[in-house]
A and B are shown apart, each in its own frame.
Chain A
Amino acid sequence: MLRALARGMGTTLKMFFRRKPTIQYPFVKKERSARFRGRHELRRYSNGLEMCIGCELCQVACPAAAITVMPAENDPARPNSPGERYAWKYEIDMLRCIFCGLCEEACPTDALHLTREFELADFTRESLVYNRDRLVNKHTSDFQVPTHVYPPYSGWVPMHGPAGGDGAGAASGGEAPAAGDTPPAGEAKGA
């Protein structure tokens, strides 16, 4: 019995001097993997248009039924996305979401992306249903509008330049061929 006691005491003493694996959480955060699936974001193209075209595939793919998408036709004068439609309403219920990432895989335009942000705690249920204002990234990404999919566009651009910006819009769509191949109606103004 005494030997067992001594061994036990020895074990605890060894632990006493061992380095502690504690991470001082709010000040120091553990490195997350590049593929970490956290809070969702809806990305924008480099010219500021939303990448989401309101196709609802993410809503279909979602196993937890956390996503609600209601698309609407783009106003040709002030389009939200380069496609015909955009997500007029886009809601993700973070209380239902299981962060499986199937929505991200389903997205045909790579608009939906799961960031590495994970501190989502809040006080009410309502505040945890994220709407499009919170999901659409305020910053643009490096993605270019794929010109072989969408018609070239050099009209109103939400982020760059003043509203109805002619110069800035032209600059961002600079590499696009000259206006002419079936432009959307609003394009006439910019050109």
Chain B
Amino acid sequence: MDTVGLVLIRSLILVVALLSLFAGMTLIERKMLGYFHLRLGPTRTGPWGLLQPVADGIKAFIKEDIIPRDADRLVFRLAPIISVFAALAAWSVIPIGPPIQVGGVTIPLSVADPPGGVLVVLAFGALSVYGVTLAGWSSQSKYSLLGALRASAQLISYELSMGLSLLGVLMLAGSLRLTEIVAAQASLPYILLQPLGFVVFFISGVAEASRVPFDLPEAETELVSGYHTEYSGMRYAMFMMAEYVHMITVSSMVTLLYLGGWNGPAFLPPVLWFLLKVGLLLFVFIWLRASLPRLRYDRLMDLGWKVLLPLAVLNLVATAVATAVLG
């Protein structure tokens, strides 16, 4: 049986793995962006710039931790913690492979596998708005506040189309449990049955993670740095951590819901298939960042409410009709 000790060990492994992945992603993103820009990216910190995350980490730790005079000190300190917590907690229900058998004990490859796993991920995704909003609110800076308002407006509008496009998958799989959704895609990944849902979900996911071209909350041309303008040092790094973990979360959700999760030809182990697909999506994230300019704010809202939401509803209705007719 799954014991408390095993759960704790898995949680520990998960947090360490996610934070290392975050460190690795900062380097990979800079390298990839460099390659897109006909540059090499970091090269001086170790071979291929591999020690760049270490240098960044040291820098973040030894920077002065500034709290603005008028800031709400408690909330100001709390906000990055909420952000990181929400980002990491969403990962607690994401499985990276089928359960494995070790000495007669079945161990799921996620911290937990509740029946409503999809909802847990969505809920924690929504919770991350609190970190952003409170950060902007407590900073007592107009840029931070505007960034935070934008962030909450954006996240709320895109969450709608995200949830609606998701419903198609849930109807086809007939379950909210992530392992069962993946099992239902053993023969056919849902991207083939739900191409529209996939596109809507991925675009909303990019917006959820506040990544280019939807990085309005931190649009540096107009808002300095958005909701984390007043943050420095490690607290700033925590917001970055939350953003990157969020990006990884969205990639894994797309993988689990649409790309068949760890299903794949048998020449690779399932976990590797999962990581490969997530890596591919992360590359797309960086590719988007290298290619697309930021949307104007009203266009962002137009896209969310007038394009993606109707498309998601259409997809939902079509899927419902098809499921009812075809059984």
Contact = CB atoms under 8 A, between A and B. Distances in A.
B296 interface: no
B66 interface: no
A5 B39 CA distance: 23
Contacts, number: 30
Contacts of B292: 5, 8
B40 A9 contact: no
A22 B291 contact: no
Nearest to B43: A24
Contacts of B32: 16
Contact of A20 (B38, B287, B290, B291): B38
Contact of B291 (A12, A18, A21, A24): A12
B39 A9 contact: no
B73 interface: no
Interface in A1-32: 5, 8-9, 11-13, 15-16, 18, 20-22, 24
A15 B33 CA distance: 11
Contacts of B35: 15-16, 20
Interface residues of A, number: 13
A18 B37 CA distance: 10
Contacts of A21: 38
B293 to A, nearest CB: 9
A15 B37 contact: yes
B39 A20 contact: yes
A25 to B, nearest CB: 10
A16 B36 contact: yes
Interface extent on B, as a size class? Answer: 10 to 19
Nearest to A11: B291
A8 B293 CA distance: 11
Contacts of A15: 35-38
Contacts of A18: 38
Interface in B249-301: 287-288, 290-292
A79 B195 CA distance: 90
A20 to B, nearest CB: 5
Contacts of B287: 9, 12-13, 16
Interface string A52-78: 000000000000000000000000000
B170 to A, nearest CB: 28
Nearest to A8: B291
Contacts of B288: 9
Interface in A123-175: none
A9 B287 CA distance: 7
Interface string B128-170: 0000000000000000000000000000000000000000000
A20 B36 contact: no
A8 B289 CA distance: 12
Contacts of B43: 24
A18 B39 CA distance: 10
Contacts of A22: 39-40
A8 to B, nearest CB: 5
B302 to A, nearest CB: 13
Given A12-B36, A12-B291, 4 more contacts: A13-B287, A16-B36, A16-B290, A24-B43
Interface of B: 32, 35-40, 43, 287-288, 290-292
Interface of A: 5, 8-9, 11-13, 15-16, 18, 20-22, 24
Give the 10 A-B CB pairs with smallest separation, nearest first: A12-B291, A22-B40, A9-B291, A16-B35, A12-B290, A12-B36, A8-B291, A16-B36, A20-B40, A15-B38
22 contacts: A5-B292, A8-B291, A8-B292, A9-B287, A9-B288, A9-B291, A11-B291, A12-B287, A12-B291, A13-B287, A15-B35, A15-B36, A15-B37, A15-B38, A16-B32, A16-B35, A16-B36, A16-B287, A20-B40, A21-B38, A22-B40, A24-B43
